[in-house]
Structure 1
Amino acid sequence: MPKTFGPFSEAGSTVRANKLSDSGDFAATMGLFSQMHGPPPDLAELYLLGTPESFNRLEQIIASTDHLAQPFIQAMTS
């Protein structure tokens, strides 16, 4: 069903950029921005692709998420 919006003023159609906001979204965005430009986190584990260790660890990670996909698999097969 088509829906028409507008007309919009010049101020209403501009992008809010670099304007302070009291919203939690702004605070979360600024936190992510500081993390992006900060030092990288310490890596707990690092694997070289193509090695048996990386293969086994990737298999463990994929297997640990199998239960999340089961409802979708069952819905698609029924």
Structure 2
Amino acid sequence: MKGSIDPNERYNVQQAVQHPYVSRWFRENEWSHPQVPVEYREEDNEARMTADEWRGNFIVTDFRFNVLMAIIHSFN
């Protein structure tokens, strides 16, 4: 069963990108690009924010990401 929670029964990454729902957005040149390092700063982890502030940050970040991806894909 591919919709399973059990990691031994789930799709692996290769199978997932070949799935009909995902494959129409899959681009080979995006598959093998170098990974961008993720910067971790301890002081960011200690930030004191309310749940609403966190929620707002995630919404803005998600919106910016979606706009950026739309712009990038418009050039392909």
TM over 0.5: no
More helix by share: 2
TM-score by length of 2: 0.28
Q: TM-score, normalised by structure 1?
A: 0.28
| Structure number with larger C-alpha Rg | 1
